[in-house]
Structure 1
Amino acid sequence: MTIETITKRTAPSRTNDPEGTKRNIIEVATKEFAQNGLSGARIDEIAAKTKSSKRMIYYYFGDKDGLYLKVLEDAYSRMRMTEAALDLEDLPPAEALAKLVRFTFDHHNGHEDFIRLVMIENIHHGEFLAKSSVIQKLNVTAIDAVRRLYGRGVEQGVFRAGLDPIEVHWQISALCFFNVSNRATFSQIFKRDLGSRKSLDSLREAVVEMVVRHLKAD
């Protein structure tokens, strides 16, 4: 059997737009993995909801694990790309920090699938995230942005010295993440709609105030 014959039998044949097809598969797979987890998601179901086939999905992504990893990389990439466009360097440190916290809060609130994917990956102890050089590089960039912002604040006497930028990033992420991950249980337990516009506005500004006060110099 020749290489040409093998290629004809394995290459996808139903698309003239491979990038568009991959984009469609990733979008559908994101919802499936977020809803059902890695073990519960089915390639057959993903194929049925896309403009592709099961064979095409395997051709582009290798297997279900490969598709799941690509979904994770895409979710982190889109967040970091939007975050990078905030132009924090042009703002005074305290204003830049407040803008970063508001962005993180609003991003997480508007991207529940991202939160669910991160929760699922934590169930897998970060196994797939650890395999991705893409995500590692993206998060180094995110920490560098926090480090530069914090450094400017310390130099100008706005922020107190001695804080760890990774811990600052963790604190921002934790407060904004919890707003989505635990909203349903909190709302049920305390009989208050914490997803209402009024509650979200109040929670967001409280998170901004807590983070900014934590960093501010005495």
Structure 2
Amino acid sequence: MTEPGAGGAHPDGIASAGSAAPEGAAEGANKADLDRALTVAMSHFAADGYSATKLDAIAKEVGMSKRMLHYHFGDKKELYRRCLIRAAWGFSPPQDFLERSYAAPVEGIRRFVDALYHSMAQNPEAIRLLLRENLDPVLTPGEVTSMRSESEVILQLERLLLMGQDVGAFRPGISATDVVVLIASLCFFRTSNHTTLEEFGAINLLSPTNTEGMRRLTIDAVLTFLTSNIPDSGYESYLTHTTATPHAIHSDDDGYTKDYLSGTSIAEPLIDDIYDDDLEPSGE
């Protein structure tokens, strides 16, 4: 998968090999050193947050001068942004996997979910960093949007879904984004809530046994989601991309208007939607 980058720059923001080092800088930095710098920086940002992370500590752990760190990655905020890019793109399965084709769409999806689960399970610090940015944002919306790029993960998944829907193996109305959100929700929960679940439910989600159990749960959840006999809703997807007007107002078939972003209480119409009129007691 090709990560987003510009010009001769490394997609992670590493200066190209032809760049001149700062005048008087005795040490050089090869790609392995710079990759390690990003790995260490991500670990610090994920564990301590943006404000508490110190460039001096990162430079010392990497074995690189703070001056060289600034040269290759810019200021602290730019280094943080590069770490977020690496975190977001670190979940991609290997390129050769993305280029495979499958005769049976169900098997293709099974292997795809398996690969994506392993990619996320093996990158817990990337998940922690993304969670931090969601809960305590450092970047502006414009800076986050500039990181967005077309993902081969989504494209490959769309191909598998279309193939399965064409042969009747998968139900319509499900997009690649829906499936990725389902997978990520389970994988992010495993990282973000494992302490709470162990303390209150005595379940260690990070144990080898439960890591395997979560893998099976994620695969089966996606396959059930795709193959269940739920009637076609007429929608093309459960989720839609953000439009110019982010106000989410939806009118359902019963005439209820649900405003999900205004802060208006929507509890009553949502509860009413749960119960079918046929279940109401007779005589009322």
Q: Normalised by the shorter chain, which TM-score bucket?
A: 0.7 to 0.9
Whether the 8 Å contact between 2:158 and 2:176 is mirrored in structure 1 is: yes
- Would the alpha carbon gap of residues 52 and 92 (structure 1) be closer, same or farther in structure 2, given more than 3 Å must change? same
1:58 aligns to what? 70
Higher helix share: 1
Whether the 8 Å contact between 1:34 and 1:117 is mirrored in structure 2 is: yes
Unpaired runs of 5+ in structure 1? Answer: 1-7
Find the aligned partners of 1:10 and 1:203 in 2 and give their Cα distance: 48
Alignment of 1:208 onto 2:195? no
Find the aligned partners of 2:102 and 2:201 in 1 and give their Cα distance: 41
Say which is worse superposed, 162-171 or 47-56, in terms of deviation.
Answer: 162-171
CA drift at 1:119 = 0.5
Which digits, 9 at most, give the CA deviation of each residue in 1:90-136, with x for residues without a partner? 35211111112222222222211111011012124483685267741
Match of 1:105 among 92, 117, 132: 117
TM value normalised by structure 2: 0.66
Percent of aligned pairs sharing the same letter: 25
Aligned residues: 211
Instruction: Map 1:59-208 onto structure 2 (within 5 A).
Output: 59-80=71-92, 82=94, 85-125=97-137, 127=139, 130-131=142-143, 135-138=147-150, 140-208=151-219
Larger Rg: 2
TM value normalised by structure 1: 0.84
Find the aligned partners of 2:125 and 2:71 in 1 and give their Cα distance: 25
Whether the 8 Å contact between 1:73 and 1:132 is mirrored in structure 2 is: no
- Would the alpha carbon gap of residues 132 and 15 (structure 1) be closer, same or farther in structure 2, given more than 3 Å must change? farther
Q: Which structure's relative contact order is higher, taking Cα pairs within 8 Å and 6+ residues apart?
A: 1
Which digits, 9 at most, give the CA deviation of each residue in 1:132-180, with x for residues without a partner? 6774115x43322221111111011110112232122211211122112
CA drift at 1:88 = 4.6
Whether the 8 Å contact between 1:172 and 1:211 is mirrored in structure 2 is: yes
